Structure 1
Amino acid sequence: MTPKEYLKQAYRLDKRIDQELLKLEELKALAKCTQTVSYEERILSGTKQREPHFVRVLEKVWRQEEKINQQVDKFVDLKEQMSIMIDELENVDHNLVLSYRYVHGWTWEEIARVLHADRSTILRWHSKALSLVHLPEEPILI
């Protein structure tokens, strides 16, 4: 794995968490839906579920929240490991470019504006920083 591939993981994991949050919102909306009540006599067989629909949906909500929490924990650990790796760079410009780009998710234009440099200079610093940075001994992989 190259340093660039490693650093791009945070963006992908962030987008995956966003997707899981959308699923969670859909489940929560489903849990709020009312189900019609039938007053007819029901014959319960071994194949029918005895729990109300909303209870099953709430269990799915809980499982989805657990999944999201695990991904968020991994995301935080990954960003911390990335920050430590980036902080090892001696050149401040290289350090800032990688940090703004991969830890904070800024665009090239935002980085150029803050560092008062043109986009080509930022890209040159980025390329140089990637050649100097070293992956952690045990990188977090997603």
Structure 2
Amino acid sequence: MNAKEFLMRGINLERRVETIKEQIEHYKALVNDCSVTYSDSPKSTASNYKLEECTQKIMDLQEELCSAMADLVDVTCEIGKAIQKLDNYDYQDLLVNRYVLGKTWEKIAEDMNYGIRNVHRLHGEALREIKIFS
């Protein structure tokens, strides 16, 4: 694993966490859209089964979300420790902003008061300096 792959693990896990959250919200909306109608006709167990099935999917996704978030915290801490070992504070700021906080290149350039090309140059230098232990 190279330095960039090591650092990208956090961004990839964060994207996974957001996808799971969206899935949970989607299923919750479907469950909430179910309405109860009362009539004299016999109950349908099929609709209850579907509701239970959907609720179980939500619970399964919530477990998956907790696991993904725990992984994200672990990976982000590991990435942060590797970044802190750099002697150059500009490299540290750039890598934390990009790989821990998930900022765009444009926002990083603005925050650091650099041009975008300079940020990309610094990024390449920082990647060559960072030491990873895989």
Structure 2 residue 116 is matched with structure 1 residue 119: yes
Whether the aligned pair in 2 keeps the contact of 1:28 and 1:61 (CA below 8 Å) is yes
Task: Report how many residues are paired.
Answer: 132
Structure 1 residue 31 and structure 2 residue 28: aligned?
A: no
Aligned-partner Cα distance in 1 for 2:30–2:107: 39
Alignment of 1:1-142 (within 5 A): 1-32=1-32, 33-34=34-35, 39-40=41-42, 52-137=49-134
Taking only aligned residues, the RMSD between alpha carbons, in angstroms, comes to 2.3
Distance in 2 of aligned mates of 1:127 and 1:22 = 34
The separation in 1 between residues aligned to 2:50 and 2:35, in whole angstroms, is: 9
Residue 56 of structure 1: how far off its partner (Å): 2.7
- SS of structure 1 residue aligned to 2:10: helix
* Higher normalized helix content (fraction of residues): 2
Question: Structure 2: any 5+ residue segments left out of the alignment?
Answer: none
Corresponding residue of 1:140: none
Evaluate the alpha carbon distance shift between residue 134 and residue 40 of structure 1 in structure 2; reply closer, same or farther with a 3 A threshold. same
Shift of 1:36: 5.8
Is there any run of 5+ residues in structure 1 with no aligned partner, and where? 43-47, 138-142
Give the aligned residue type for 1:73.
A
Aligned counterparts of 2:2 and 2:35: Cα–Cα separation in 1: 51
Question: How far 1:22 sits from its partner (Å)?
Answer: 1.5
Letter in structure 1 aligned against 2:80: S
Report the CA distance shift for 1:72/1:57 in structure 2 as closer, same or farther (over 3 A): same
- Checking the alignment, whether the CA contact within 8 Å between 1:35 and 1:53 is kept in structure 2 is no
